[in-house]
Structure 1
């Protein structure tokens, strides 16, 4: 454990702080900026993409390791209606869609370290009513805790003073073959993924769900058995159910040819977005396409515009809660 240490400054001059946690084979670095996992090492080897310069997290990185919200993923046209009132949000993705909470969202805001312990840290962020166009003042918390061998558990909660949308997730970019010396990242093409989902959400050319919940059987989206990722271009939500469950269950497993590490992602959310990093070069940070993958447990994308999708509405007196756990383990090298 370390006390919060300044590692940079926000545009308004406020300090960007970092806390480090270690134990059970993990070394973790958490930034106040975006409550981001800047570093996640297992047995001395990096498992996620990160940047040495904390200032890159202010504007440049594509949400590396950050908590994204108020609504993760996309909302069609940046519009939704709640309790009869229409709301307009920033269309920060190609002028067409609202992505990951808007221009700054939660991932480019400076959170506050509320508690720092030997193996756990809690951060908070209060979003004002009307921030990024969303109704209601929202208080969000993020707790990262090392809870067992190779296991980092993330607990996300939120409360509001008015009806609003909430859909939070962590946006880490994983690669089980990252070189320890910080050299060029190889692609994740030879990684093998397994997602126990019987359905997925087809999307249109703006990556917005069509409204259908389609079976994976007989399609390239059938990842129920271990499947080499290759170059198939994944950026889709896989359906795990219709309800948020009380305790995290396995939602994805990743291995890689040439690695003796397996990653299991566990979560309580009803869906998980699998993104293969195809657009990474657009960040202009020197990363090639598909040099990392994201597994983002979350609500269904564009949920407020699809009445048949599970609701992502949070009301006063309710508490939003989502748990994500990353579990790393050694196994025989593939």
Structure 2
């Protein structure tokens, strides 16, 4: 989904007190070329840091507790060269400057990822007005005041895993219920980044968490990424209007540029005259995954994949969720210098957001046909669980 959307419009710069910790001043650079000291800060009275997790197979993932974000993800290419495959910044200042460098790069999004129409939900017969930050809609839980710009607590960490925790108060951005949530990131021995989102609430609410990493597997994010080969395991998708809100239809991908059931270069499918692509200036849509059947998601079967013929890096995506939003960097290309000073062009990346369908609170409450599998409601005593995994390998 878009990086520089209405998500953070009107936001002022988050109050930052930079205070590089002496303990990190001598820290060595990460494999991806990050300086941990540039992530040591105090934001909103809470300490931020860079955390590195890795395995013995050449995979390194660097994260910050600011937004529970993946900052870099390095895996070997076909020649064994470590390659950072996600977009982002190389310092905490840019992540936290929601006025000049707004982004959702790599974040753990909550309380509700994607859009809710007219920023309104109905829970237990009561209407709640949410924070509108994407025109009249609520996007990613309220944008600059949502979880992607909160400092998570580091609940635990070791060489291969970190657990981020957050508590969202009742009424935050208009949402009912105090929610306690965690995002657990684990690097596995087979070069998989495994992500588990969990949450509980003290009052019925809606919840939809995801990771928002932008992938470019080519090893050069200064160039467009439409040469990447994409596969989406879905026979259907949910068309959207010009405001990116699903119409309520569930349409077949057959015969349209939305059909990625056979892996193909994105450029080969891209048709700017097709209404859905024209509206979004690229792909920014939800696909209804074939891996979700009978009310349960199969997170052992590939939901989507991405491949770079240039580096040979191959990524498979697994999830237990019913849908996946695929966004192709349509609003990148702003001229802002990002990680290592690179200015990302338009269509440089692909984001795979595992999720409940966009605007599920509206469509589910209205009993829209086909949306019954996308129940966004969480009640007290229930436990929310969402699984997402990115598995990397290479092809010669």
Q: TM-score, normalised by structure 1?
A: 0.93
On the 8 A contact 1:136/1:163 being kept in 2, the answer is yes
Residues 62, 283 of structure 1: alpha-carbon distance in 2 compared, 3 angstrom cutoff: farther
Distance, in Å, in 1 between the alignment partners of 2:189 and 2:126 is: 45
1:312 aligns with 2:364: no
1:255 aligns with 2:307: yes
On the 8 A contact 1:96/1:206 being kept in 2, the answer is no
Q: Secondary structure at the match of 1:238?
A: strand
Tell me the equivalent position of 2:285.
Answer: 236
Distance, in Å, in 2 between the alignment partners of 1:209 and 1:314 is: 22
Distance, in Å, in 1 between the alignment partners of 2:296 and 2:141 is: 20
Tell me the equivalent position of 2:110.
Answer: 69
Q: Secondary structure at the match of 2:333?
A: helix
1:121 deviates by: 0.8
Q: How does 1:6-155 map to 2 (within 5 A)?
A: 7-23=39-55, 24-43=57-76, 44-58=82-96, 59=98, 60-93=101-134, 95-103=135-143, 104-155=145-196
Higher helix proportion (structure 1 or 2): 2
Q: TM-score, normalised by structure 2?
A: 0.79
Higher strand proportion (structure 1 or 2): 1
- Range with bigger deviation, 26-35 or 228-237: 228-237
On the 8 A contact 1:62/1:283 being kept in 2, the answer is no
Residues 120, 317 of structure 1: alpha-carbon distance in 2 compared, 3 angstrom cutoff: same
Q: Deviations over 1:200-252 (max 9, x none)?
A: 00000101000011111111111100121125410000001363426443111
Distance, in Å, in 2 between the alignment partners of 1:54 and 1:292 is: 21
1:256 deviates by: 2.0
Residues 282, 91 of structure 1: alpha-carbon distance in 2 compared, 3 angstrom cutoff: farther
Residues 130, 250 of structure 1: alpha-carbon distance in 2 compared, 3 angstrom cutoff: same
Tell me the equivalent position of 2:8.
Answer: none
Q: How does 1:191-230 map to 2 (within 5 A)?
A: 191-230=228-267
Q: Secondary structure at the match of 1:71?
A: coil
Q: Secondary structure at the match of 1:122?
A: strand
1:188 aligns with 2:245: no
- Range with bigger deviation, 95-104 or 134-143: 95-104
Residues 296, 283 of structure 1: alpha-carbon distance in 2 compared, 3 angstrom cutoff: farther
Q: Deviations over 1:38-89 (max 9, x none)?
A: 1110021101012111121122242100011111011111111111111111
1:148 deviates by: 2.6
Residues 63, 10 of structure 1: alpha-carbon distance in 2 compared, 3 angstrom cutoff: farther
Q: Secondary structure at the match of 2:315?
A: strand
1:187 deviates by: 1.0
1:173 aligns with 2:222: no
Larger Rg: 2
Tell me the equivalent position of 1:278.
Answer: 330
On the 8 A contact 1:248/1:325 being kept in 2, the answer is no
1:13 deviates by: 4.3
Residues 96, 281 of structure 1: alpha-carbon distance in 2 compared, 3 angstrom cutoff: farther
1:125 deviates by: 0.3
1:311 deviates by: 1.2
Distance, in Å, in 1 between the alignment partners of 2:334 and 2:113 is: 20
1:91 deviates by: 1.4
Q: How many residues align?
A: 326
Q: Deviations over 1:240-278 (max 9, x none)?
A: 136342644311111123121101011111000000001
Mark the runs of 5 or more structure 2 residues left unpaired by the alignment: 1-22, 28-35, 77-81, 272-281, 338-342
Residues 201, 283 of structure 1: alpha-carbon distance in 2 compared, 3 angstrom cutoff: farther
1:10 deviates by: 4.7
